[in-house]
Structure formats: structure tokens, C-alpha cells
Amino acid sequence: MQKHIFFSIQKPALEMREISALKRSAGFFNSLIQIHNISRGGFANCKYALKVMSLNWRVGDLCQIKIEGLDAELSCMVFTDLINDYFQMLYTNHKRVAHEVTLSYQHSLESPFPFYFHQQKVDPETQYKKNKILLSLARMITSTHYKPLLSALLEREKISATGISSKIAMPHIISDLVDKPWIIVLPSDKNIYWSSHFSNIHLIIAIILPRNASTQVFKSIIKLSCMLLNPAFSQLLLQSNDPLEIETLLIYCFKY
Amino acid sequence: MQKIVAVTACPTGIAHTYMAAEKLTQAAQSLGLHIKVETQGAMGIEHKLNAQEIANADIVIIASDIKINELHRFDSSHIFFLNIEDILIDAIKTLKTCLPK
């Protein structure tokens, strides 16, 4: 069983009491419990205080507690509580508490701007072909004016394909056809050929911004783009199938 | 230390411009090179290169899928035109193609 928790650290280092709380709690369980710094790289087993201490931290870093083992469910519950006490909690995928508990944390992680968020698996009817996926995407935004939106997306792809890493494509346009930013996340079970060097695309993150979007919006999207250069962060998006988790990770990028 | 100046740009100006800039900066740092990257994106021109910086540069790079603004600044420079996708795939390898052998 595998469980995980995301949080961000608000200080340039972990304090002794935090390190010993992690160690003490990890000692109760058989599961392997690791702390990862996603932003900066590096991880340590929570049971080894010295190792945890030797990790690098900076204010705002995205961190993850990763739990693997038979008692993962129970330890995730305990660690969810612990993380919430000591750090800025972002997300836990603990089954029971996850929904009611994390929902209240979502308030503290309000997006700096409103946007439409939509996540669904790539429709098999698209036959996993790029153009048909872009069509389905345009139709998610508008059922009536999707044609000009589609041609704008295709036009952009013609200049250069929008594959951005080995598994992620990020089609993005600025358009008069939307009134609020749209972010559509489409995970795919099958490889998609994106007519770029990055050929085996498994996740599409589409971004459609209104032409009059604020500087704040542009800045946030740029932060997200740069965060996607981090393979550890991309991996989190690729592995997740929970829309709330993906949205939380996106908002984290916008804020930090 | 070799001095590099670079300009990055892309059609929409919200992703590739800044990703390429970040990648080039990281690659230059790991190769021990000095770099300044001008970005031409949705935020307008940032970290704009002035005439002196361009004249003093050992290597001039333009990484863009579109025509950049104020290209005339580089009229007397030898320009390496790089593909943004190549930079995203392997920035160090791509940057090395511009270095003297």
C-alpha cells in the first residue's frame, strides 16, 4: 500500500522538535516512511534524524511524506495530523480523513486567481490522436464556438509542437474566446504521439488564457511552466489520478 | 570565463520562453559559464540586453520559434540560432554546440 502527503515548508530549515516528531511517529510503524524535498531534490527515511537534518530546505519548498507498507493507512492518518501541526498542509491521500480534513486546508491554499479546472481521462474515442484530442479539449470549453478555439490550438502546434518533457505536453494559447483562464488536465492510458521529439506523451496540461488576463495570471502560469522542468514534480502529476491532488499541485506552483 | 548572452521567445510567451531561459541558465552554470538571458514573452521584454553586453559577449544565442523583437541589436554579432525543443531535451548538449571546439 502506498500513501502520501504534500506540504510546504515555511522556514529555511527543519527544527529539532519537528525532526524528532517525525522520527518518533515513524518509529510506531513498520511502513517505510520517507520525507522528500520535491523542489530541491533529496529524501530521507524519517527514522534517521541525521539524514533528515542533512537535507536542504528553502522557504516555500514543496515536500512529500511517502509511506509504503502494510500499515500505510494508519501511519498516513498519524502523519496527516503531525504535518498539519507543524507545517503548511497541502494534500493527503488518506482515504478516511482525506476528504473532510483536506477540504478545510484547501481554503488556505486559495488560488491567486480564479480559473476553470477540469480533469478527465483522454477519451478512447479520440483514438489517442493529437488533433482529435485537441478537438475534444476545445469542446470541453465551449460546445458552440469550439471551431475557432481548435484552429487556434492547431495554429500554435504548427509553429512548434508543445511537448515539454518526455511524458507531458502543454498546449497553450491566449484567446478572446474565453473569459476566465482554463486549465484542463488529461491523463492518458496510452502513449500519444505529439509530433514532437517528446513522442510518448501520457499527460496533457492544456492552458487557455483570456487575452485580458492579469499579470498575476501570466506570472503564475510561467511559474508552473518552470516547475514542470523539475522531473520529480512532473512525476507527481503523472502518477496522480485525483483531480483534487492535481489542482492542489497546480495552485502550489501559482503561489510559490 | 566565457560570456554568453541569449534571447528566448515563443509564440504564446507563457511557457517555452521561460522554460528555455531557465534551462539555459542551469546548463551554463553547470558548465561554469557566465550567462544573461533576455526573455521576450507575455510579460514583455525582461532582463533586456544592452549594446555593451552584446558587444562584450563571446557567444550570442537566440532560442526561438518566432522572429524576435529588436533583432537589429545583433547585427554585428555571430548568432547561434537554437531550437527551443532541443534545449528542453538536453540543454547542456545544445549549449555545447555553440562553444568553440
Interface contact B16, partner A, CB < 8 A: yes
pLDDT at A109 over 80: no
| Chain A contact probe: residue of B10, B16, B19 with most A CBs at under 10 A | B19
Beta strands at A32-37 and A62-68: parallel, antiparallel or unpaired = antiparallel
The whole-angstrom distance between B17's CA and the closest CA on chain A is: 9
Q: Residue A98 — pLDDT band, cuts 50, 70, 90?
A: low
A209 and B14 in contact by Cβ < 8 A? yes
If one counts every other C-beta atom within 10 angstroms of the C-beta of residue B7, the result is 29
Model pLDDT, residue A99: 66
Q: State the DSSP H helix or E strand holding residue A107, giving kind and residue range, or none if neither.
A: helix A95-108
Over the stretch B38-73, which tens digit does the pLDDT of each residue have? Answer: 999 999 999 999 999 999 999 999 999 899 999 999
Q: What is the pLDDT of residues A66-84, one digit of tens each?
A: 999 999 999 998 999 899 8
pLDDT > 70? residue A215: yes
Residue B56 C-alpha cell reads as: 562584450
Which residues of B are less than 8 Å from A228 in CB distance? 19
* Residue written as grid cell 488576463: A213
> What pLDDT is stored for residue A196 in this prediction?
74
What is the per-residue DSSP string for A177-203?
A: T-SS-EEEEEEEEEEEB-SSS---EEE
Give the model's confidence band at A97: pLDDT under 50 very low, under 70 low, under 90 confident, else very high: low
Mean pLDDT of A142-152: 93
Distance CA A136, CA A18 (A): 47
Q: Across the interface, do A156 and B12 touch by the CB < 8 Å criterion? A: yes
Q: How far apart are CA A220 and CA B45, in angstroms?
A: 17
Q: Kindly determine whether residue A160 and residue B15, on different chains, have CB atoms separated by under 8 Å.
A: no
Q: What is the mean pLDDT of residues A92-110?
A: 72
Q: Is B81 within 8 Å of chain A by CB? A: no
Taking contacts as CB-CB distances below 8 angstroms, the residues of chain B near A165 are 88
- Residue A96, pLDDT > 70, answer no
pLDDT-wise least confident of A91-95, A181-185, A228-232: A91-95
* Residue A107 reports pLDDT greater than 70: no
Interchain CB contact of B19 with A (< 8 Å)? yes
Is B19 close to A164, i.e. CB distance below 8 A? yes
Instruction: For A152, name the nearest residue in chain B, comparing CA atoms only.
Output: B12
The amino acid sitting at B71 is L
Average of pLDDT values for B70-78?
A: 93
Average pLDDT rounded to a whole number, residues A141-155: 94
Average pLDDT, chain A: 91
Is the pLDDT at B37 greater than 70? The verdict is yes
Tell me which chain B residue has its CA closest to the CA of residue A161: B85
Amino acid letter, residue A190: K
CB within 8 Å: A219 and B43: yes
| Residue A106 confidence (pLDDT) above 90 | no
Q: Is the separation of the CB atoms in A90 and A248 below 8 Å? A: yes
> Grid coordinates in use for A224?
508552473
Residues B2/B56, Cβ–Cβ less than 8 Å:
no
Is A240 strand, coil or helix?
coil
Position with higher pLDDT, A65 vs A12: A65
Task: Flag if B22 and A221 touch (Cβ within 8 Å).
Answer: no
Q: Which residues of A touch B37 (CB under 8 A)?
A: none
Q: Which of B18, B43, B85 sits opposite A225 (nearest CB)?
A: B18
pLDDT tens for each residue of A15-45: 999 999 999 999 999 999 999 999 999 999 9
The DSSP secondary structure of A139-161, one letter per residue, reads HHH-SSSHHHHHHHHHHHHHHS-
| Model pLDDT, residue A42 | 94
Kindly list the catalytic residues of B: 10
Question: Does B88 lie at the interface with A, CB-CB under 8 angstroms?
Answer: yes
Q: Do B42 and A218 touch (CB under 8 A)?
A: yes
3-class SS at A63? strand
